[in-house]
Amino acid sequence: MKLYILPTPIGNLEDITLRALRVLRSVNFVLCEDTRTTQHLLKHFEIQQRCIPYHIHNEHRQLQQIIRQIQVSSSVALVSDAGTPGISDPGFLLVREAIAQGIEVETLPGATAFVPALINSGLPADNFCFLGFLPHKKGKETLLKKIAVMEYTAIFYESPHRLLKTLEMMAAVMGDEKSIAISRELTKIHEENFRGSVKEAIAHFGAKQVKGEVVVCVRGEK
């Protein structure tokens, strides 16, 4: 019995690996955030597979049942809607419990948004801190204050409708001349990569409607 952690493309479907396609064809079933999204991916590659919902709203409730299903199946794959499971998506609880139950876990390399955003930012990438999504309200300012004095590049995800308010809070906390890079719609047709100061970012993104998931990289003090 084996649990595969399987990354899926974050936009461009060509970014899936040959190994991932082979695993998707061979497993007994696929655990996924949204069965419609995963079925769209499978259909594109002409793969017929049974999909079972496993997402943030049911992962605690379904965990033990899923473990039992894995124990009676030879192999199962966990995917998220886009990117690598466990990176700001469900995955950690299942991996931890699978290990505890003696289930073999194999993680495939593949797409995740923060790596191309970091490399493309032009900011130092030898040391960095990935923070996932910032808190929506409580604790957000405190975390931004910590980011302001980090010696290395900090990376976090943000939703498009909160980006401008986050940038304004960043300006207040760390100064509007702080160097940042912002990537959105990575690997998609309308991919955008912004590089400049917080002040310039506010002017740029405040002048238009922002769409697509966003990755923010903040230059460290070192």
Supply φ then ψ for residue 209, to 5 degrees. Answer: -85, 125
Confidence (pLDDT) at 73: 82
Domain 114-218 has CATH 3.40.50.140: no
Q: The domain at 2-107 falls in which architecture?
A: 3-Layer(aba) Sandwich (3.40)
Angle at CA of residue 196, ends 141 and 184, nearest 5°: 75
Question: pLDDT tens across 48-63, in order?
Answer: 999 999 998 998 999 9
Residue 74 confidence class, pLDDT cut points 50, 70, 90: confident
Confidence (pLDDT) at 117: 97
Please name every residue paired with 32 in a beta bridge, in sequence order, or none if there are none: 53
Please indicate whether the domains covering 2-107 and 114-218 agree at the CATH topology level: no
Between helix 163-174 and helix 198-206 the angle, nearest 10°, is: 160
* Domain ranges for the chain: 2-107, 114-218
